[in-house]
Structure 1
Amino acid sequence: MDALEILSNLDQVFPYFQPIFSADEQRIIAYEVLGRYKSEEQIISLGSFFQDNEIPDEYKYEVDLLIVRKALEKAAKLEEDICIFLNRNADLLMYGSGEPFLQELLEFEKNGFSLRRIVLEISDHQYDGDLDQFDHLLQYYRTYGIKIAIASMNRESHYIDRIGQLKPDIIKINLEALKSTATGTNFNDVLYTLSLLARKIGAMLLFENIEMSYQLQFAWKNGGRYYQGYYLHPPSVEFLSRDLLKSRLKEKFHDFISYEKRKLEAVYVTTEYFQAQVQEVSAKNKKVSYVELFQALAKEMEGIAFRMYICDEDGFQKSANMFKGAEGWYLQMEYLNKNWSWRPYFLENIIKMRNERKGILSDLYCDIETGETIRTFSYPISGSDYLFIDISYQYLYEHEQLL
């Protein structure tokens, strides 16, 4: 893109607005501002202009400021609870130590545009400057009511570190990775970490690049409060009716809820089934050794379980593993006396089983040894001993509502 052409024709630079929808209201709650340029042939995105390292920052700042002014002048006519997302990379935000941009925003505030409606969507993964100074500037902006959203980055470790440091109001997650089966599993792991982190710091999740129904369902299921993407609505030069998709989103959410209810019901029914099986086998084998109990359970749960072991309520393993390999069941003595209390939810589930005297079917997780997605059924067999039965991926696959 020819930077001089753009700078010579600033009257052809203008904002586009992409709507952001909320899960709780099923309506538009914000718009992201995107830069556009009208050439002789077509309207083109200014994304490459702002990402070009060869273009001086002062040129980028001039164009960006023009887009922001035009966007906020237009947004002033919107309802006062609609927010405006402004993209800022660290270099652009630090231009003039961040003061010129803030003064521009303050001018709009004087005219009645609350800065609490501004969300700065920042990206700093290519920033070579002083991050402490940058973070200090962001905190300064926050004193004026401006919110901070942190955008997706290529390096997940840096992304998570920065979320912990900045404690943003909104964490924006790009669903582009869902298109690739190669990155799908890792993406789920990172997303789980992000959702836990968001909950801890009180941040909201915004999923972008939603282009298909299954991506919207994924965002909804994984705690997304806000949604954005071409599947919902592409960027446009004009604002839209806030309730444009209200009926459609209600229908979608109803479908998602029904589907999740069926899955939860399947988990409940399966838990009751395992409970009855294990209870019956345990009652018949009260006075036998753990190995004999495992052998009896293996017959009843053939094609279901692939590992069994017993722990006390502190997590110390009181039996060897009974493991099903290619040639059948065998004992893994090296696991005797190992402790598993460090695992997430272990002690919580122990207390729950101790008080309710009922078994629990875990959520889905990746098995450390096999690398497969599994569930574990745990059951209180006696005073302070608890039986753990790992359910194979093959069984879960055959009963797809358990996946």
Structure 2
Amino acid sequence: MDPLEIMANIDRTFPFFQPVFSADEHTIMGYEILGRYQSEDGIISLGPFFLDEDIPDEYRLEVDNYILSEALKKSLEENIDTWFFINRDANLLMLDQGETLLELLLSFCAKGVKMEQVVLEISEKHFRGDFEQLFHLIHYYKTFGIKIAIDNIGGDSDQWERLAKVSPDILKVDLQHLRKEAGNTTFHNILYSLSMLARKIGSTLLFENIELDYQLHFAWKNGGRYYQGFYLHRPSGDFLKEDILREKLKTKCQDYIEHEKRHLKAVFNLTQLLQREINEQVNELRKHAGNLDSLLISLAKNVEDKFFRLYICDANGFQLTDNLVRKMNKWETHPQFKGKNWSWRPYFLENIMRMQNKNSGLLSDSYSDIETGETIRTFSYPLGEDQYLFMDLSYEFLYEQDGILY
């Protein structure tokens, strides 16, 4: 792409609009403003132009501002009252401390555009400047009512720390990686952690690059309030009817709800089954077991089709028995675990209290086992006398159960 050709024919550049849909109303809640160029060969994306750091900064800024102006003019002409997502590279934004962009937006506010309609979408992952100055600018923009979205979110802990300082209104999550990492539990866990972070700092999740149904399902299941991607609608030069996908999204949502209900029912049924089986086993075996280790060994012989690790802890998380682990269809005792404390584990004490209050077992969510790396679940069972049995369900068993593994 020849930057000189584009600068000489800037009037051939124009905005495209990619709709962003909401999960709660199933309608278009806003548009991301994208750049296009009318070449002799047809319409081409200006994405490579904006991302090419060899092109002078002032060229990229001029084209960016021209396209934004054209987009806002069009919105005023057609009386479009919605949110507009405006992309800005943090390095370019800080060249003049964001003054040019703010002046442009204020000039359109005088014509009827509301600052509350503006979502400034910042890519700061490769920012080379002073983050404190960037944070100051972002907070300054917020005083005008401008919303902040951060994209290119990943598993970088430094970035997560910065997110906590900025408290953006929206976090954009790219689901392109999901097509490559569909079976990667690490990727799923990072997104789960990100959803927890968003909740803590008061941000909303927007999932972008949704190209297939299962990606939309994934976004819905993982707390996405806003959706964007070719599967929903491609960018175009026109604004669309707000409810263009209302019925489709409503139907999809109902499908996902039914799927999730079936999953929750399967988890509930398995929990009830394990509760009955372990209750019967423990009540019978306790009549003959001399101590907790012998109880564990006797129990293991009867449950080896489901579990691969068993141990008992007290109410404070101190392990009272050896680890009993099944390897190569044989049970092994690992005495080095006796006496260890597990209260540091997430939800450990909370689950102990839940078992105390309900006097029944609990089935955990799916998670990656530290030792095996496999996806497992743990069934916890109150033995009484402040003793709690923990039983790790094997991946093989979970895989055979419909709707249980994930």
TM-score (ref. length: structure 1) = 0.97
Match of 1:324 in 2: 326
1:357-391 Cα distance to aligned partner (Å, 9 max, x none): 01000000111111110000001011200100000
**1:392 is aligned with what amino acid?**
S
How far is the alpha carbon of 1:153 from its aligned partner? 4.7
Is 1:306 the counterpart of 2:311? The answer is: no
Q: Within 5 Å, give how 1:149-298 maps onto structure 2.
A: 149-153=149-153, 156-181=156-181, 184-287=184-287, 288=289, 289-298=291-300
Distance verdict in 2 for CA 1:164–1:88, change over 3 Å: same
Q: CA RMSD in A?
A: 1.4
Match of 1:137 in 2: 137
> In the aligned structure 2, how far is the partner of 1:284 from the partner of 1:347?
28
Tell me if structure 2 keeps the 8 A contact 1:156–1:190: no
Match of 1:4 in 2: 4
Bigger drift between 128-137 and 252-261 goes to 128-137
Match of 1:99 in 2: 99
> In the aligned structure 2, how far is the partner of 1:78 from the partner of 1:84?
13
> In the aligned structure 2, how far is the partner of 1:207 from the partner of 1:12?
31
Match of 1:40 in 2: 40
1:192-228 Cα distance to aligned partner (Å, 9 max, x none): 1111100000100000000000000000000000000
Distance verdict in 2 for CA 1:321–1:219, change over 3 Å: same
Secondary structure of the corresponding residue to residue 184 of structure 2: helix
Secondary structure of the corresponding residue to residue 219 of structure 2: helix
**2:190 is aligned with what amino acid?**
V
**Structure 1 stretches lacking a partner, 5+ long:** none
Number of positions where the alignment pairs a residue of Structure 1 with one of Structure 2: 402
Secondary structure of the corresponding residue to residue 31 of structure 1: strand
Match of 2:376 in 1: 374
> In the aligned structure 2, how far is the partner of 1:333 from the partner of 1:53?
59
Q: Percent sequence identity over matched residues? A: 51
**2:239 is aligned with what amino acid?**
F
1:64-86 Cα distance to aligned partner (Å, 9 max, x none): 11001011111233443x10000
> In the aligned structure 2, how far is the partner of 1:380 from the partner of 1:52?
61
How far is the alpha carbon of 1:400 from its aligned partner? 3.3
Is 1:114 the counterpart of 2:105? The answer is: no
Tell me if structure 1 keeps the 8 A contact 2:285–2:299: no
Match of 2:359 in 1: 357
**2:107 is aligned with what amino acid?**
E
> In the aligned structure 2, how far is the partner of 1:94 from the partner of 1:139?
14
> In the aligned structure 2, how far is the partner of 1:213 from the partner of 1:156?
28
Secondary structure of the corresponding residue to residue 234 of structure 2: coil
> In the aligned structure 2, how far is the partner of 1:43 from the partner of 1:158?
39
> In the aligned structure 2, how far is the partner of 1:195 from the partner of 1:394?
29
Distance verdict in 2 for CA 1:352–1:154, change over 3 Å: closer
Bigger drift between 174-183 and 301-310 goes to 174-183
Secondary structure of the corresponding residue to residue 97 of structure 2: helix
How far is the alpha carbon of 1:395 from its aligned partner? 0.4
Match of 1:60 in 2: 60
**2:34 is aligned with what amino acid?**
L
Tell me if structure 2 keeps the 8 A contact 1:152–1:159: no
1:131-153 Cα distance to aligned partner (Å, 9 max, x none): 21111111111100001100015
Distance verdict in 2 for CA 1:154–1:304, change over 3 Å: closer
Secondary structure of the corresponding residue to residue 314 of structure 1: coil
Bigger drift between 247-256 and 184-193 goes to 184-193
Tell me if structure 2 keeps the 8 A contact 1:22–1:225: yes
How far is the alpha carbon of 1:125 from its aligned partner? 2.3
1:243-295 Cα distance to aligned partner (Å, 9 max, x none): 11111111111111111100100000000000001110111122412233223
Distance verdict in 2 for CA 1:347–1:78, change over 3 Å: farther
1:48-68 Cα distance to aligned partner (Å, 9 max, x none): 111111111111111111001
> In the aligned structure 1, how far is the partner of 2:183 from the partner of 2:304?
33
> In the aligned structure 1, how far is the partner of 2:209 from the partner of 2:306?
39
Tell me if structure 2 keeps the 8 A contact 1:26–1:243: yes
Match of 2:22 in 1: 22
> In the aligned structure 1, how far is the partner of 2:189 from the partner of 2:34?
30
How far is the alpha carbon of 1:179 from its aligned partner? 1.3
